Amino acid sequence: MGAQLRVVRRRIASTKSMAKITRAQELIASSRIVKAQQRVRESGPYARQITRAISALVSHNVGVGHPLLTERPESNRAAVLLITSDRGFAGGYNANVLREAEGLMTMLREQGKEPIAYIVGRKGVGWYRFREREYADAWTGFSDNPRFEHAETIGRALVGEFSKPVEEGGVGEIHIVYTEFVSMLTQTAQVRRLLPLEIEEADELPEEQSQGALPAYDFEPSASAVLDALLPNYIESRIWHMLLQAAASEHAQRRRAMKSATDNANDVIESLTRVANQARQAEITQEISEIVGGANALAETSAGSE
């Protein structure tokens, strides 16, 4: 077998095994998106109820002056939580989050604030390490399958930073950059301000708005105690929601990236097969002409000797 043919065949074989791997990754991601979407749905009732309860409290004017609801202009530090993935192979997923975060940080700096990074996911940590930038804290190992404890840990840490006095390095605001799962085809990096809180109605539930005025609640034991207990839960629920959205987006983007990788590999295999066939044919043609040429030469010499 000729050298060219051997090389091409080897490349076909390696491309084929690569296609197998990316295809498997694609299938895994597809099956996980369904699971991740289901978890987003399952977190819906809790998020809806807690938002309603908080809105009820705020409509009673209980929240006025609550530390988690008031602006802190005296602090010029702003925490930025980046939700990235632990693994790569997800197309532009992490790049988009990091770019969005860079934009936010530039904006904060222009406002005279000092951004402090908090990171979820190994890829974000790697990006910061590589550039030798500082970050305050990082949580890794759960980006594709978060559990509520993770949201709880992150929420507590961030609220802790926010509640600290300014002299001890307390932050004045907290922003989160994450990827919103719009649909299977669209996922967009988003920036949200977590603290001071702006109570937002869950966007996915338009029927909530039509329910009109909230009833006059009694509070047990007291309105401010309920608010104190509820606000951290609400923050955790917001973070939880974002972690789930980010996980679903990660799977969706990985699936797409792996699908185009598989398609590309198949294209490469096709064109390489053509090259291989041509090389094989050229070899055969050459062999035939050598044999014919050899036979002719033999016939001529034997004809000359007679």
Closest separation in Å from C-beta 149 to other proteins: 9
Distance separating alpha carbons of residues 120 and 226, to the nearest angstrom: 30
Q: Which is nearer to other proteins, 34 or 282 (CB)?
A: 34
Q: Which is nearer to other proteins, 89 or 219 (CB)?
A: 219
Residues linked to residue 114 through DSSP beta bridges, in sequence order: 77
Closest separation in Å from C-beta 226 to other proteins: 5
Q: Are strands 187-195 and 173-181 parallel, antiparallel or unpaired?
A: antiparallel
Closest separation in Å from C-beta 225 to other proteins: 6
Q: How many residues does the chain have?
A: 306
Q: What φ, ψ does residue 216 adopt, rounded to 5°?
A: -80, 105
Q: Which is nearer to other proteins, 39 or 259 (CB)?
A: 39
Site residues (vs other proteins, CB under 8 A): 39, 42-43, 45-47, 49-50, 52-53, 56-57, 147-148, 151-152, 214-221, 225-226, 229-230, 233, 236-237, 240
| Contact partners, residue 48, CB within 8 Å, separation at least 6 | 202, 205, 208
Q: Which is nearer to other proteins, 195 or 243 (CB)?
A: 243
Closest separation in Å from C-beta 233 to other proteins: 6
Q: Which amino acid is at 177?
A: V
Distance separating alpha carbons of residues 295 and 212, to the nearest angstrom: 99
Q: How far is residue 193 CA from its own chain's centroid?
A: 19
Q: Which is nearer to other proteins, 124 or 146 (CB)?
A: 146
Closest separation in Å from C-beta 56 to other proteins: 7
